[in-house]
């Protein structure tokens, strides 16, 4: 269809990349940012600088928000939305908030928007700003499916949309769960490098092999569908990688870290999973039995 009008509020690295991609795709783009100078390059490229948040929202059916957190949305739109002299600024509009926060914050924001007559979509952006608008970029969405479908063509410019369902918290949950894997893996990579360099071994001798260890994980687990079935069923078959055997190694990593004077908190957290699983009687089961203590903490 014909490119629609889109507003982008929040011009950090991410919002600027989104507005730039929308302009290149032929959309009429209106932008607003608390620090106005961050819009200069976009205005030079054809975007319209809205004089106020109210004007920005009024310019387009769809407003994308790319801010540090959800509080920033209330800071920007709260005074406008609740200004009695300007009734219904949000009425009939769609807000797509692509900022990070908790799933509960997204649910509250959807209710807040609904109270003011607006539709609300939650987005979780899964790529860094330079990848926005390029192949491989993807974004999780949740919220009303009919609203998502109306705006899908414009949202597709930013990245491939992956719609998860009506619960506004879902996209935020998926974003965080992916980042849980990502951030923990990144910390472990740095921790392991510190362990090796503390022994005088150059990082370059270690890191390429360590990255291969990361890619060995999908090889071991497959596409995840079998693991998913086993975790859901509480089944932990196999005696090649038992909780006892892996737990002994987890303990060795803690002791080696302590001896080397590098951080022990990360390997201690991992060791505690094994210790608690063993204490709960999962020692001779597959390492996946850790799931039983991880999911039922406290």
Residue 37 touches ligand NDP, criterion: CB under 6 A: no
Residue 129 touches ligand NDP, criterion: CB under 6 A: yes
Give every strand in the sheet of 138-142, ordered side by side.
48-49, 28-32, 5-9, 62-65, 94-97, 119-125, 138-142, 160-165
Contact in structure between 62 and 4 (CB atoms under 8 Å): yes
Rounded Cα distance between 13 and 30, Å, is: 17
Cβ distance to ligand NDP smaller for residue 35 or 225 = 35
Rounded Cα distance between 153 and 130, Å, is: 21
Which of 41, 45, 51, 75 forms a contact with ligand NDP (CB under 6 A)? 75
Residue 99 touches ligand NDP, criterion: CB under 6 A: yes
Cβ distance to ligand NDP smaller for residue 66 or 288 = 66
Rounded Cα distance between 95 and 6, Å, is: 10
Q: Closest distance between ligand NDP and the C-beta of residue 247, in Å?
A: 35
Residue 215 touches ligand NDP, criterion: CB under 6 A: no
Q: Closest distance between ligand NDP and the C-beta of residue 100, in Å?
A: 3
Which of 7, 30, 33, 106 forms a contact with ligand NDP (CB under 6 A)? 33
Contact in structure between 95 and 113 (CB atoms under 8 Å): yes
Q: Closest distance between ligand NDP and the C-beta of residue 250, in Å?
A: 31
Rounded Cα distance between 123 and 145, Å, is: 13
Rounded Cα distance between 282 and 209, Å, is: 31
Torsion of CA 221, 222, 224, 227, to 10 degrees: -50
Residue 35 touches ligand NDP, criterion: CB under 6 A: yes
Residue 30 touches ligand NDP, criterion: CB under 6 A: no
Cβ distance to ligand NDP smaller for residue 12 or 144 = 12
Q: Closest distance between ligand NDP and the C-beta of residue 58, in Å?
A: 18
Instruction: Give the total residue count for the chain.
Output: 298
Lay out the site mask for ligand NDP across 251-280 (x = CB under 6 A, - = otherwise).
------------------------------
For the chain, the maximum distance between any two Cα atoms, rounded to a whole number of angstroms, is 70
């Amino acid at each position: 269809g014909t490119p629609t009008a889109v507003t982008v509020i929040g011009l950090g690295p991410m919002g600027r990349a989104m507005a730039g991609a929308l302009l290149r795709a032929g959309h009429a783009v209106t932008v607003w940012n608390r620090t106005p100078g961050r819009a200069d390059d976009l205005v030079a490229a054809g975007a319209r600088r809205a004089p106020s948040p109210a004007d920005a929202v009024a310019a387009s059916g769809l407003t994308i928000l790319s801010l540090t957190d959800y509080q920033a949305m209330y800071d920007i739109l709260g005074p406008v939305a609740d200004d009695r002299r300007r009734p219904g600024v949000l009425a009939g509009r769609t807000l797509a908030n692509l900022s990070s926060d908790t799933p509960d914050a997204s649910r509250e924001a959807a209710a807040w928007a609904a109270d003011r007559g607006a539709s609300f979509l939650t987005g979780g952006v899964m790529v860094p700003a330079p990848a926005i608008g390029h192949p491989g970029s993807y974004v999780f969405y949740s919220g009303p499916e009919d609203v998502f479908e109306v705006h899908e063509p414009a949202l597709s410019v930013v990245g491939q949309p992956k719609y998860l369902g009506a619960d506004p918290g879902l996209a935020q949950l998926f974003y965080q769960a992916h980042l849980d894997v990502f951030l923990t893996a990144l910390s472990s990579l740095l921790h392991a490098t510190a362990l090796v360099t503390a022994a005088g071994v150059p990082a370059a001798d270690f890191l390429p092999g360590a990255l291969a260890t990361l890619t060995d994980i999908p090889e071991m687990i497959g596409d995840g569908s079998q693991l998913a079935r086993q975790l859901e069923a509480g089944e932990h078959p196999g005696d090649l990688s038992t909780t006892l055997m892996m737990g002994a190694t987890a303990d060795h990593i803690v002791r080696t870290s302590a001896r080397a004077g590098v951080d022990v908190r990360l390997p201690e957290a991992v060791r505690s999973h094994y210790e608690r699983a063993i204490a709960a009687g999962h020692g001779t089961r597959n390492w996946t039995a850790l799931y039983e203590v991880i999911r039922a903490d406290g």
